[in-house]
């Protein structure tokens, strides 16, 4: 949870909220650094190559921080390549994933010097061959395996049989003769991402078993595979009932599965590095009581954190001056809804929670907003993107300006 939100920091936040306005995102650099180190420590025996999934949070200051910890960048669009390079990632440390790359995106990647791509379908591999020929260069293509593993939430499950991602084991095997004929995009490895926000080791072990089986088979058949990328997906506890990811158990299982496999292992975590290092700070703008409950309206909403609306995700809401204990999900006599100002009934952070009395102008924080919040924000209702701050070296630093009003019309040609 948000352990770093100490009392002195809460006072600083109050000052910031008063002087600079709300809502804003606030990130904690030491937490991000410590997450990078935690992962590297647990995985030492496997000596993996690490890529940070830029989609979790693409802010330059955060990317730089993670790059300095020895991570490369996992990207899924030309835009993410552009940002990753601006953050100092070398093209050789960038891996271009995604199930639908356009020819323009592949060309852009090649022009920037990116040479590692995964592919989810044969036509996407053919695109790599074609572009490799056009640019007279060779790229390393990683075959994305759909491991056919079911994860709880349908939107976070990308590795089940129904999912649009990857090729099934059988499909991959059937394509071996064609893939062997590669001239510009030889098959450099197998890629397997089982899903996101996973809190137990078993899906990862199952994914590793299937992916290493395919790796062995491809090698046996003479394909030049060297890399086994086991994706991202390590979950974090959002809800108090959730426990931290069981890395020791995962490592124990992985050592057995990967023992003797002649592969360079890589991972591409996003959420685990940044989710708990971020909060969204909002201010109370309206309070009303209806017959059954209290409704607290704050100035941030689904435009800044769409996860509760989109996934039914739980995010702790911290009232000001309270001990930082997330609310228990109990039934209470007079519950509170903490909602946003956006014109959607799904615009809420928490429903039916016990909440202390607050007054207009008080700030509240929404916890675990470091991943997939700012990166999924929108201008719906023509709301402006909030400012973003990073706590680093004991100081609070602005890392992204609040979006200026005229920018809402920047993309419109003059009448």
Q: How far is the CB of 277 from ligand LLP (least distance, A)?
A: 13
Residue from 57, 69, 124, 196 touching ligand LLP (CB under 6 A): that is 196
Residue 166 in contact with ligand LLP, rule: CB under 6 A: no
196 or 212, CB closer to ligand LLP? 196
Residue from 35, 271, 315, 383 touching ligand LLP (CB under 6 A): that is 271
56 or 258, CB closer to ligand LLP? 56
Residue 212 in contact with ligand LLP, rule: CB under 6 A: no
Name the active-site residue from 148, 192, 282, 343.
Answer: 343
Q: E-strand spans in 290-400?
A: 294-298, 317-318, 336-339, 348-353, 363-366, 387-392, 395-400
Q: How far is the CB of 270 from ligand LLP (least distance, A)?
A: 3
Q: How far is the CB of 80 from ligand LLP (least distance, A)?
A: 12
Measured distance CA(363)–CA(370) in Å, rounded: 18
Residue 276 in contact with ligand LLP, rule: CB under 6 A: no
- Lookup: tokens for 57: 């949070």
Cα 101 versus chain centre, distance: 19
Measured distance CA(212)–CA(264) in Å, rounded: 11
β-strands 294-298, 363-366 pairing: unpaired
Q: How far is the CB of 233 from ligand LLP (least distance, A)?
A: 4
Residue 72 in contact with ligand LLP, rule: CB under 6 A: no
Residue 269 in contact with ligand LLP, rule: CB under 6 A: yes
Residue 319 in contact with ligand LLP, rule: CB under 6 A: no
| DSSP codes of every residue in 211-232 | HHHHHHHHHHTT----EEE---
Residue 159 in contact with ligand LLP, rule: CB under 6 A: no
Site residues for ligand LLP, 28-67, by CB under 6 A, read 53, 56
Name the β-bridge partners of 363.
283
Give the ranges where 21-159 is alpha helix by DSSP (H): 29-42, 60-68, 78-86, 103-112, 122-134
- Lookup: tokens for 181: 């004929």
Measured distance CA(150)–CA(311) in Å, rounded: 16
343 is catalytic: yes
Give the footprint of ligand LLP on this chain (CB under 6 A). Answer: 53, 56, 74, 97, 156, 158, 193, 196-197, 231-234, 268-272, 307, 372
């Amino acid at each position: 949870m948000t352990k770093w939100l100490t009392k002195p920091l809460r006072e600083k936040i109050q000052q910031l909220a008063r002087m600079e306005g709300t809502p804003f995102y606030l990130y904690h650099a030491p937490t991000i650094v410590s997450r990078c180190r935690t992962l590297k420590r647990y995985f030492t025996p496997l000596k993996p190559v690490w890529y940070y999934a830029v989609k979790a949070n693409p802010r330059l200051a955060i990317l730089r921080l993670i790059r300095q910890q020895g991570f490369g960048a996992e990207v899924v669009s030309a835009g993410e390549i552009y940002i990753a390079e601006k953050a100092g990632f070398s093209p050789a440390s960038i891996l271009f994933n995604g199930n639908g790359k356009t020819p323009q995106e592949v060309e852009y990647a090649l022009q920037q010097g990116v040479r590692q791509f995964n592919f989810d379908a044969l036509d996407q591999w053919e695109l790599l061959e074609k572009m490799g020929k056009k640019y007279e260069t060779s790229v390393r293509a990683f075959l994305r395996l759909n491991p056919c593993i079911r994860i709880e939430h349908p939107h976070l499950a990308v590795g089940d049989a129904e999912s649009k991602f990857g090729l099934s084991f059988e499909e991959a095997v059937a394509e071996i003769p064609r893939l062997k004929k590669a001239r510009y995009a030889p098959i450099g490895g197998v890629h397997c991402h089982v899903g996101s926000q996973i809190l137990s080791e078993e899906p990862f072990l199952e994914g590793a078993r299937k992916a290493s089986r395919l790796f062995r088979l491809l090698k046996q058949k003479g394909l030049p595979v060297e890399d086994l990328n086991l994706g991202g997906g390590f979950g974090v506890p959002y809800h108090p009932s959730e426990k931290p990811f069981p890395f020791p158990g995962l490592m124990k299982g992985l050592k057995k599965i990967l023992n003797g496999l002649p592969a360079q292992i890589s991972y591409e975590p996003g959420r685990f590095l940044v989710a708990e290092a971020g909060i969204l700070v909002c201010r109370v703008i309206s309070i009303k009581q209806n017959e059954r409950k209290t409704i607290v309206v704050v100035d941030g909403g689904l435009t800044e954190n769409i996860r509760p609306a989109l996934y039914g995700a739980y995010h702790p809401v911290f009232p000001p001056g309270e001990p930082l204990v997330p609310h228990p999900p109990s039934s209470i006599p007079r519950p509170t809804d903490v909602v946003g100002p956006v014109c959607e009934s799904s615009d809420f952070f928490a429903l039916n929670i016990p909440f202390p009395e607050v007054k207009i102008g008080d700030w509240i924080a929404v916890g675990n907003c470091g991943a997939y919040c700012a990166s999924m924000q929108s201008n719906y209702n023509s709301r402006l993107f909030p400012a973003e701050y990073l706590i680093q070296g004991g100081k609070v630093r602005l890392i992204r300006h609040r979006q200026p009003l005229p920018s809402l019309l920047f993309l419109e040609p003059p009448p």
